Structure 1
Amino acid sequence: MDIYNWVRRHRGAIIFALSIIVILLLIANAWKHQVLSSEWLKDQKGALAALNSIVTLFVFIAGAIFSYYRFFKGRTLSLRADPQINVTVHPTDGSSNIHAYDLSIKNVGTSTIWNPKPHLKLIIHGPPNIESEREISGWYEEERANEHTVPVIEADERVSFFGHQEIQHEAWAVTYIASIQADSGDSWYISKTVTNAPNK
């Protein structure tokens, strides 16, 4: 995950920490220039007692808001998705079968998923001369081709990516390991193993 995505995911905590640092620096600067001093504090004892109560109340409210924000974000604003993969096997007149795969992801949260990027790995099982692995980079999308990603997935929306591969008849089965990564750094995974035999 790059620094930009890390800052986006932790911006609430970063803003809170920076606010505390700014307040401490302001107090230190005021003390350095004698805007605040021990004598001034003694003269303002009554006012400072009231100010202390106000600051305590402010800190309590700020802490409550921050805690609620963390809880609310974790339960409601976090990215949640439901990935699925479906594979069908079709016979050909040649020495291989065609595996048609459909990788889909549904946004089951309330926040938009930006720039989802699919990745698919095939592990072909069979005799030693057949066993191999493949990395899939070419995808088709619903109503669009020659593009690798859709820009966003809105809440309760499902998007599909699909393609096909030729698998030799000698292969016994194929394992599909799929992942989809959003630009926020969140990832979702799913895997499925299918027999290398045409669907009946």
Structure 2
Amino acid sequence: MSNWLGRNRGAFVFALTLLMVLLGLANAWKHDLVSVQWLREQKDTLAALNSAVTIALLIAGAMFSYYRFFRGRTLSLRLELSIDVSVHETPLDKRLHAITVTAKNVGTSTVWNPHPALQIRIHGPSEAVWNINEWQSVDGQTSTLSVIESGEATTFFALKSISKEAWAVTYTASVKADEGDTWFVSKTISNRTGGHE
């Protein structure tokens, strides 16, 4: 019920406001505060009030359209995230997972100070969860990125050794912007060389 009220809040408020106005007019008519003669005498005032209400509704509609369309879609932050993982054999009892998270800015606004994070969940005899918050750039240095411009994509890279006993690995990546928006993507792969979803 609360979800329905949340989705239809605007229509619900409008219906209650209209009901209050109608009940107020009915009460005024009942107590002879409003009559046909009074309405004839106040026609100029009512015409001016009608114009003022029309202007107020047009302004409210324009503001609603601005926030609904421009702020809600055109100027909103939008990222497309993808995860690519390659699994490599090692001479040890672990396999090396090379994780690449790509964030593409498909919105029209710049994403400032994106902070990537990755949760790794191991499925197998020894279940485990790890978090990666430090990423590497192509040259092996710690990656720090301050902006993703509209239409650009950036890549975050990390390595993780996973025991050969693990059956599969689930990667859940997130990128959080300074504005508070957060995007998520998840992928589960087999823990074998050439592992796939």
Relative to the length of structure 2, the TM-score reads 0.68
Runs of 4+ residues over 6 Å off in structure 1: 48-51
RMSD: 2.5
Cα separation, 2, equivalents of 1:199 and 1:164: 16
Match of 2:68 in 1: 71
State percent identity of aligned pairs. Answer: 41
SS of equivalent to 2:193? coil
Cα separation, 2, equivalents of 1:97 and 1:194: 13
Cα separation, 1, equivalents of 2:173 and 2:142: 20
Q: Which digits, 9 at most, give the CA deviation of each residue in 1:115-159, with x for residues without a partner?
A: 1111111111111xx221111122013567223x41111111111
Cα separation, 2, equivalents of 1:110 and 1:67: 20
Q: Which digits, 9 at most, give the CA deviation of each residue in 1:10-56, with x for residues without a partner?
A: xxxxxxxxxxxxxxxxxxxxxxxxxxxxxxxxxxx9xx889757744
Cα separation, 2, equivalents of 1:179 and 1:68: 31
Match of 1:157 in 2: 152
The yes-or-no answer on 1:60 pairing with 2:88 is: no
SS of equivalent to 2:129? strand
Match of 2:168 in 1: 173
How many residues end up aligned between the 2 structures?
153
The residue type equivalent to 1:134 in the other structure is W
Gaps in structure 2 of 5+ consecutive residues: 1-41
The residue type equivalent to 2:57 in the other structure is F
SS of equivalent to 1:141? coil
**Alpha-carbon offset, residue 95 of structure 1:** 1.2
Cα separation, 1, equivalents of 2:85 and 2:188: 9
- CA 1:150–1:161 in 2, change beyond 3 Å: closer, same or farther? same
SS of equivalent to 1:79? coil
Match of 2:92 in 1: 94
- CA 1:170–1:60 in 2, change beyond 3 Å: closer, same or farther? same
**Alpha-carbon offset, residue 81 of structure 1:** 1.3
SS of equivalent to 2:99? strand
Cα separation, 2, equivalents of 1:132 and 1:57: 62
